């Protein structure tokens, strides 16, 4: 294995750790929107979930330390998982097992199926990007990350992965910009300060 291959595998392993914390979730059944007392329409489950997600991202930005940030992050992963149907979540779990077993081609099939069923589910595109990167197709991985971020611009794990791919391609300014976006969303991400400092030193020649 070349040094470049070893480095890419190490980066992918780190990215999988960032994105592996999706907890098991109970999927709410879709229910018709009903009226609250007084005739005011109740928020739909999806509207409620999105409002909660907005509050969670505000809490993530304002987290006092890494432990607090990690707690809010886990709730964001849970919120994202709740937007998938049970069948899509099953495909996602199977795809992750295949990735962990170093079978990216099988993982691609699972994530392809998840995207076919739920093309608006950002996390399916993010996971497929991981599978493409693990199989060596970095261009396809980058395209899937762009779609992830189109669907969910605050997807910090997708931004972190994009930064790593840019760094691996030698685009240090691009890697720095992407990781600065990560830190703007998730300031207390574990290890973020060290990585940001390293990227600034290498991309801009800063020593601090």
Domain end position, chosen among 59, 83, 107: 83
pLDDT band at 18 (very low <50, low <70, confident <90, very high): very low
Instruction: Report which of residues 36 and 114 the model is more confident about.
Output: 114
Residues 89 and 138 in one domain: yes
* 27, pLDDT greater than 80: no
Q: Does pLDDT of 22 surpass 80? A: no
Residues 200 and 179 in one domain: yes
pLDDT on residue 40: 60
The residue segments making up the domain with residue 201 are 157-208
- Burial environment of residue 157 by CB neighbours within 10 A (0 to 12, 13 to 18, 19 or more): buried
59 in Cβ contact with 72 (< 8 Å): yes
Residue 29 covered by a domain: no
Residue finishing a domain among 25, 56, 83: 83
Say if CB 182 and CB 69 are below 8 A apart.
no
* Same domain (yes/no): 49, 98: no
Which pLDDT band, with edges at 50, 70 and 90, does 17 fall under? very low
One domain for residues 70 and 92: no
Same domain, 69 and 125: no
Categorize the per-residue pLDDT at 127 as very low, low, confident or very high, splitting at 50, 70 and 90: very high
52-71 per-position pLDDT tens digit: 999 999 999 999 999 999 99
The tokens for 195 are 């990585």
14-37 mean pLDDT: 39
Final residue of a domain: which of 31, 56, 83? Answer: 83
Please tell me the pTM assigned to this model.
Answer: 0.80
Label residue 42 by pLDDT band (50, 70, 90).
confident
Query: In this structure, is residue 119 part of a structural domain?
Result: yes
**pLDDT tens digit sequence for 192-203:** 999 999 999 999
Instruction: Supply 7's token pair.
Output: 């480095």
Q: Looking at the structure, tell me whether residues 131 and 89 fall in a common domain.
A: yes
Q: Is 20 among the domain residues?
A: no
Q: Average pLDDT of 19-45?
A: 49
Q: What is the mean pLDDT of the chain?
A: 85
Phi, psi of 206 (to 5 degrees): -80, 140
Is 32 within a domain? no
From CA 51, how far away is CA 9, in angstroms rounded? 37
pLDDT digits (tens, 9 = 90+) for 152-180: 999 999 999 999 999 999 999 999 999 99
Q: Is residue 22 part of a domain?
A: no
What pLDDT, on the 0 to 100 scale, is given for residue 45? Answer: 85
């Amino acid at each position: 294995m070349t040094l470049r291959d070893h480095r890419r595998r190490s980066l992918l392993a780190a990215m999988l750790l960032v994105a592996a914390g999706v907890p098991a979730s109970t999927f709410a059944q879709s229910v018709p929107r009903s009226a609250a007392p007084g005739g005011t329409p109740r928020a739909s489950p999806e509207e409620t979930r999105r409002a909660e997600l907005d509050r969670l991202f505000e809490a993530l930005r304002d987290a006092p330390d890494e432990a607090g940030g990690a707690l809010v992050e886990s709730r964001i992963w849970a919120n994202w998982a709740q937007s998938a149907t049970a069948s899509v979540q099953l495909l996602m779990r199977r795809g992750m097992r295949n990735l962990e077993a170093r079978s990216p081609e099988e993982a691609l099939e699972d994530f392809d199926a998840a995207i076919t069923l739920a093309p608006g589910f950002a996390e399916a595109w993010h996971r497929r990007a991981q599978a493409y990167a693990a199989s060596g197709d970095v261009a396809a991985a980058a395209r899937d990350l762009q779609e992830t971020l189109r669907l969910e611009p605050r997807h910090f794990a997708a931004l972190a992965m994009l930064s790593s791919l840019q760094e691996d391609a030698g685009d240090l300014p691009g890697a720095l910009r992407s990781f600065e976006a990560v830190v703007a969303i998730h300031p207390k991400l574990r290890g973020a300060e060290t990585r940001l400092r390293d990227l600034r030193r290498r991309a801009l020649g800063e020593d601090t």
